[in-house]
Amino acid sequence: MEKLTGLIAAPYTPMHPDGSVNPGIVPDMVDHLQKEGVAGVFICGTTGEGASLTVDERMLLAEQWVAHAGGKLPVIVHAGHNSVYEARRLAKHAQSIRAHGIAALAPSFFKPDSLDGLVEYCAAVAEAAPALPFFYYHIPSMTGVNLSMPEFLRVGGKRIPTLSGVKFSASDLMQFHRCTAMESGRYTMLFGSDEMLLGALAMGAEGAVGSTYNYAAPNYVWMMEAFKQGDMETARRFADHAVALVEVLLKHGVIRAGKAIMAMRGVDCGEVRLPLTPLSANRKQSLYEEVRALAIFENVDLQRPS
Active site residues: 137, 167
Task: Write phi, then psi, for 107 (nearest 5 degrees).
Answer: -55, 145
- What pairs with residue 21 in β-bridges? 15
Q: Which of 8, 79, 19 is nearest to 41 (CA)?
A: 8
Cβ(38)–Cβ(239) under 8 Å?
no
* Structure letter (DSSP) for residue 249: H
The Cα–Cα gap between 45 and 115 comes to 22
CA atoms within 13 A on the CB side of 44: 35
| Single-letter amino acid code for the residue at 227 | F
- What pairs with residue 168 in β-bridges? 138, 191
266: alpha, beta or left? (left if phi > 0; alpha if psi -120 to 50): left
The Cα–Cα gap between 225 and 50 comes to 32
185: alpha, beta or left? (left if phi > 0; alpha if psi -120 to 50): left
Cis peptide bond N-terminal to 275, omega within 30: yes
Cβ(263)–Cβ(302) under 8 Å?
no
Q: Which of 274, 277, 265 is nearest to 303 (CA)?
A: 265
The Cα–Cα gap between 169 and 254 comes to 15
* Helix pair 84-96, 115-127: axis angle to 10 deg: 40
